[in-house]
Amino acid sequence: MTFSSRIISICFGFFFCISLVNAESSYGDIQLLIKQNQLNEALKLTEDQLSRDQSDIKLHFLKGLVLTRLDRFQEAENVFTKLTQENPELPEPYNNLAVVYAAQGKYEQAEEALQNAINTHPSYATAHENLGDIYAKMASRAYNQALELDTGNQTAREKLSLVNELISVPDVPEKKDVAVATIPKQAPVPEPAPKPEVKPEPEPEIITVKVEPEETQEVRETIIEDSVKNRKDVEEAVTNWANAWSAQDVDAYLASYGKEFIPPKRMSRANWENERRKRLRRPGYIRVKISDVKINLHGKDYAEVRFIQSYQSDTYRDKVRKEILMRKVDNKWLITQERTR
């Protein structure tokens, strides 16, 4: 299978991952256009839908996938890069970004993107396999360079032959047929590759990657939906914490902190709570505003939140950058650590 075909396999594997059973008609229309290889029409419809809702993650993924099919790799790279920045907890944007990098021969960047995908979800098998293929491709390039410098290097020639056997698989149907994501999980056993000539071989266009099995795609779909919901729930929890502070509602404020929260300066939890009660009740008024909120989810139960906190009362005011770590306990996000910078 050629590298370009496998790129499409990965992309459309993820495409089906984000297609919901009860998806809106726009997703189905775009999917149909892609399956019919009407890529420009699919891109036009996707951009039209995005003009109405720029927050739709699925539409951004679709745009990146269509741009990849059109070989507009730089634009696809921009789309997936932005998705990784705005959704760092999702592995799929990193994986698809790696595919786009590899299509342009940017193997070091592809390696880094796949490592990020694996760091986000260590059990993401597709990223692990793609990373192995990237390493195989980089090894092929290195052995070719060794043969170019020393045409009599028999060891390098034999290693190159082994690597070529590893990364060469039979071709698949044309792109429009690949869109239905019927590629089996296991690729056929490759035929032994002939020994290379002394003259360095031209680099293959791409390397092999695998599409996830259907059941894994459904799991990925659930992860995306849960991630979007968790992000909203975390932001709501932080807002409620700030509102309780502003309202001088001590009980609601303290309820925002988890049992494992460690107070500063080695204070006991009881002493810290007593001090907070006094500080919240003492001023005539308190106004707490948060802005520039950035949320990084770590799995489904942990979150790191950074924001600018503006505090004002009748006796004091300040503006600081704050970081808090949160954990979801009994479906409620609670503060476990708090730092001011």
Please give the biggest Cα pair distance in the chain.
Answer: 86
Q: Which of 144, 336, 126, 142 is nearest to 241 (CA)?
A: 336
Q: For 22-31, 185-194, 265-274, which range has the lowest pLDDT when averaged over its residues?
A: 185-194
* pLDDT surpassing 50 at residue 189: no
Tokens at 234, concatenated: 């975390």
223-340 CATH choice from 3.20.20.70, 2.40.110.10, 3.40.50.970, 3.10.450.50: 3.10.450.50
CA separation, residue 187 to residues 3, 168, 184, 209, 290 (Å): 13, 10, 7, 9, 52
Sheet holding 332-340, edge to edge: 286-298, 302-313, 317-329, 332-340
In the chain, domain spans: 3-212, 223-340
Average pLDDT, the chain: 74
Residue 129: per-residue pLDDT: 76
Are 256 and 240 in contact, with CB atoms under 8 Å apart?
Answer: yes
Tell me, which fold does domain 3-212 have in CATH? 1.25.40
Tens of pLDDT, residue by residue over 22-78, are 334 577 788 888 888 888 998 998 888 888 888 888 888 888 888 988 989 899 999
Instruction: Say which amino acid occupies 199.
Output: K
CB half-sphere exposure, 141, CA atoms < 13 A: 14
Q: For residues 163-189, give the mean pLDDT.
A: 34
pTM of the entire predicted model? 0.42
Confidence category of residue 98, pLDDT binned at 50, 70, 90 = confident
**Percentage of residues in the chain with pLDDT exceeding 70?**
67
Residue 177: per-residue pLDDT: 28
Q: Which of 168, 167, 147 is nearest to 156 (CA)?
A: 147
Are 160 and 147 in contact, with CB atoms under 8 Å apart?
Answer: yes
Continuous segment of H or E residues that includes residue 4: helix 3-18
Tens of pLDDT, residue by residue over 195-224, are 445 445 454 444 444 444 444 555 555 566
CA separation, residue 108 to residues 63, 101, 103, 143, 173 (Å): 24, 9, 12, 17, 29
Tokens at 290, concatenated: 């948060």
Residue 323: per-residue pLDDT: 92
Continuous segment of H or E residues that includes residue 275: helix 269-281
Tens of pLDDT, residue by residue over 278-302, are 999 999 999 999 999 999 888 778 8
Q: Quote the DSSP letter at residue 264.
A: G
